[in-house]
A and B are shown apart, each in its own frame.
Chain A
């Protein structure tokens, strides 16, 4: 089956603009998680959505938001972009979410990421 698809792969924005990134999960996966990756900072958790509800949220300002649609596709939005928002944004889907206790149900499958550059 098709993997996790993220669009766009690359984009350039200027400070103050806003951006929307899209993620299509693996068919049948109900959970989508978003991460920000910058050099030396590892994977910083943004939020997780499950069945259109935000289930967990990381320590990011309110400029970062997301949503999930009934078909499990998800979008994240960053408003009023800052230079420090330049990063690789990764989306990951899982069958039942990060909190699932059944073996395999919590495993994340990542997309290739959206590389955002803010000038």
Chain B
């Protein structure tokens, strides 16, 4: 099946710092989604990207759909303690026949030190 490499696996930063994480794949994706999961809860959608090169912001968050369609990054500016959580990327790619499905990265655990 398709593989997504999400990095880094974890980050420990100081409040106010900027954060960057990314996902790469050997396959082309049609859609990139970024989610955040708080402890004990389900992931919540942060940003959805649908076109190669697309750059989208949501408050302090910015994400881009790579030109090659094989990668995406998420930046968080001026981090705050409530940014703590696990961030997942997900890409929609071809899975055989006439099927497409989402593949999730393994997540980036972000810890913010006040």
Neighbouring B residues of A108 by C-beta, 8 Å: 33, 45, 90, 102
Contact partner of B102 (CB less than 8 A), chosen from A42, A103, A106, is: A106
B101 and A56 within 8 A (CB): yes
A42 and B50 within 8 A (CB): no
With contacts A98-B101, A99-B100, A101-B30 taken as known, whether A107 is within 8 angstroms of B45 at the C-beta atoms is yes
Give the docked Cα–Cα distance between A9 and B81 (Å).
26
Contact partner of B100 (CB less than 8 A), chosen from A98, A104, A107, is: A98
Closest CB-CB distance, B1 to chain A, in whole Å?
8
A111 and B42 within 8 A (CB): yes
Interface of B is mostly: strand
Give the docked Cα–Cα distance between A100 and B100 (Å).
7
Interface residue? B58 (CB, 8 A): no
Give the docked Cα–Cα distance between A108 and B99 (Å).
16
Instruction: Using CB atoms, name the residue of chain A closest to B102.
Output: A98
Neighbouring A residues of B31 by C-beta, 8 Å: 103, 106
Contact partner of B92 (CB less than 8 A), chosen from A106, A110, A111, is: A106
User: CB-defined interface of B79-102 with A at 8 Å, one 1/0 digit per residue?
Assistant: 000000000101010010001111
B100 and A48 within 8 A (CB): no
Closest CB-CB distance, B29 to chain A, in whole Å?
11
Interface residues of chain B, those whose CB is within 8 Å of chain A, are 30-31, 33, 35, 40-45, 48, 50, 88, 90, 92, 95, 99-102, 104-107
Since A43-B88, A55-B99 are in contact, a sample of 17 more A-B pairs with Cβ atoms closer than 8 Å, ordered by chain A residue number, is A4-B42, A42-B104, A42-B107, A48-B101, A56-B99, A90-B43, A98-B92, A99-B92, A101-B100, A103-B48, A107-B48, A109-B45, A110-B35, A110-B44, A113-B40, A113-B41, A115-B40
Smallest CB-CB A-B distances: 10 pairs: A110-B42, A42-B106, A99-B100, A43-B104, A98-B101, A103-B50, A98-B102, A110-B43, A112-B42, A113-B42
